[in-house]
Amino acid sequence: MDAPQVQNIDNAIYILSHFGLHWHLETDIDRALAQLINLGPLRLERQLPLGGEIVVNSDADQILINATSERTGIAHPG
């Protein structure tokens, strides 16, 4: 699956008006890996009560999921 195919699936799953979800894949990935990776944003969605951005990047060796928001549901020390 390439990034546009994965993004189309995500459009049906997530409330994308609440936050942005962007995929940047260097190479195509198989469907099973795409399903596994989708668990990350699914868990992060609950921690973005005011919305935000989730970006999924990949290279040959790793997948990186980065979430940003003005305010998260995670308490930070200090």
Q: How far apart are CA 6 and CA 77, in angstroms?
A: 35
Confidence of residue 75 (pLDDT cuts 50, 70, 90): low
Q: Which two tokens stand for residue 72?
A: 């998260």
Cα(24)–Cα(12) distance, rounded to whole angstroms?
A: 18
- Counting beta carbons within 10 angstroms of the beta carbon of residue 56, is it exposed (0 to 12), middle (13 to 18) or buried (19 or more)? buried
**pLDDT, tens digit (0-9, with 9 covering 90-100), for 2-60:** 777 777 777 666 655 677 788 888 878 888 888 888 888 778 777 787 888 888 888 77
d(CA 34, CA 32): 5
Domain boundaries, the chain: 3-68
pTM for the full model? Answer: 0.67
